[in-house]
Amino acid sequence: MAELHELGVAAAAKAIRDGAVTAEHLVKTFLDRNAAYVHLNAFVSIDADASLEAAHKVDRARLSGVPLGPLAGVPLGIKDNIDIAGQQCCAGTPGLSGHLPKKDAPVAAALRGAGAIFLGRTGMHELAFGITNNNAFSGAIRNPYDPLMIPGGSSGGAGASCAARLTPGGIGTDTGGSVRVPAALCGIASLRPTVGRWPASRIVPISFTRDTPGPMARYVADLELMDRIVTDSIDMHAKRALDGLRLGVPRGYFWEDLDPETERVCLEALILLKAAGVTLVEADVEDLAALNAAASIIAFYEPARDIVAYLEESGASARFADIVEKVASPDVQGIMRLVSDPATMVPQALYREAVDVHRPRLIQAYRDHFTAHGIDALVFPTTPLPARPIGEDVDVELNGRRVPTFQTFIRNTDPGSVAGLPGINLPVGLTNQGLPVGLALDGLPATDRALLSIAASIEALFPVFPAPVLDRASVEHV
């Protein structure tokens, strides 16, 4: 058996069921690793006592012959915007300090019901409104492959913890790329489910039109297992044969203006796909950039209403105005002022046009593209560039120019998010500087299980991603 900290979600669950390791020993292993690599700041809190108590219950149940759930004893990280009964849920912002939800979010309840143990709360970009995870309230999260670099966001804590082998897997949320971007920058896999397929209630929101929780892990099989549990799927998971698979390669938009190393790694991935029998269909999604104009309108209209609804549902004492007033991160301060000030709020008429006209046209454009070209999924670089240094929250360097940090990192994941598509990130290689690069797959709505089957077959083409070398000394001077 591999070293315990190298076990994925499914492998860890099997080891516990088979009696190869106790849940207590497994949980202690990850608690010890978190203590050793706390400099990554992947977790905002660790509940060691509760985790060990839950592990003891699993071990007693196994010894007593009680059937174990499919995730029994497996420690997971869970993003700090998802309600867990009795655990503080801050969403990375001061205005929610002390907020103790009374009930689990449905997604957490499903995983806990399957026996998962929530080791702690993983850090995030404040209120999920950003991509760097440079949080002025809870501190910057560091990329395990280079602690001077960002892990991506907003689910950066889940991404960093999984990549660093501080957990076998975790749960994040995704509005415009927030489980796929950190997965790409940290060298792990992730699934953004079709919007509405995973329950999104009791999660501090941005946009009910776009938000979804989703799993993050090092292996596609682990994504599939967590997806099956949360959605109560009964279909059997099988890899899709690559010979005869048709993948769309939209060179326009998705493959433009890439970092040279990102482009190199992703083009090499396409060569492997073609050699395995995949048909690559080069065609662009018609009018994609124009149709995606609805993205920011929806994202800037819905937060004020959706956050208020969350506060009421979860029983929080904070008011929306309190949250806005106490925001700590400069980039999020600007956004929250924009979405809360009547003088700058998106007009309702413009929002209705975005939701009722532009978004349906975007969804139809995807459907028409898949039908016209007979493709099973789209394939493209998850992000146009690899991780950039912590602190470059406004702009970053790309091909000799300074470009907006947020918009650039989510450029490729945003359109599918607006359309509510399922999307997967696969780690496919490292840059010459040793930074991870991710390849994305997008499918049509409700094709999540088929997309996971495709991803499992593609994953097998690539070598197991190397674990990062974790070195605290390299960040002591930062």
- Kindly list the catalytic residues: 79, 154, 178
Burial, 268: exposed, middle or buried (Cβ in 10 Å; 0-12, 13-18, 19+)? middle
State the pairing for strand pair 436-442/423-430. Answer: antiparallel
Give all strands (DSSP E) within 38-164, no chain letters.
43-46, 75-79, 117-122, 134-135, 139-140
- Residue 385's identity, in one-letter code, is L
Distance CA 442, CA 440 (A): 7
Q: Which residues contact 157 (CB under 8 A, 6 or more apart)?
A: 41, 42, 43, 44, 77, 79, 80, 121, 122, 123, 124, 133, 141, 151, 170
Distance CA 459, CA 20 (A): 27
Phi, psi of 255 (to 5 degrees): -110, 15
Both tokens assigned to 384:
């146009």
Residue 74: helix, strand or coil by DSSP?
A: coil
- Answer for the pair 90, 44: CB distance below 8 angstroms, yes or no: yes
- Which sign, positive or negative, has the C-alpha torsion 246, 252, 254, 257? positive
State the pairing for strand pair 189-192/423-430. Answer: antiparallel
Peptide bond into 457 cis (omega under 30): no
Instruction: Using alpha carbons, select from 236, 217, 234 the residue that is nearest to residue 226.
Output: 217
Q: How many other CB atoms are there within 10 angstroms of residue 313's CB atom? A: 13
Helices 9-17 and 23-36, interaxial angle, to 10°?
140
Side-chain-facing half-sphere of 464: CA atoms under 13 Å: 8
Both tokens assigned to 79:
């993003």
- Answer for the pair 110, 120: CB distance below 8 angstroms, yes or no: no
Both tokens assigned to 42:
């992947």
Residue 422: helix, strand or coil by DSSP?
A: coil
Longest dimension (CA), the chain: 64
Tell me what percent of the chain is helix, strand and coil, each rounded to the nearest 5.
40, 15, 40
Both tokens assigned to 211:
């938000």
Distance CA 157, CA 34 (A): 12
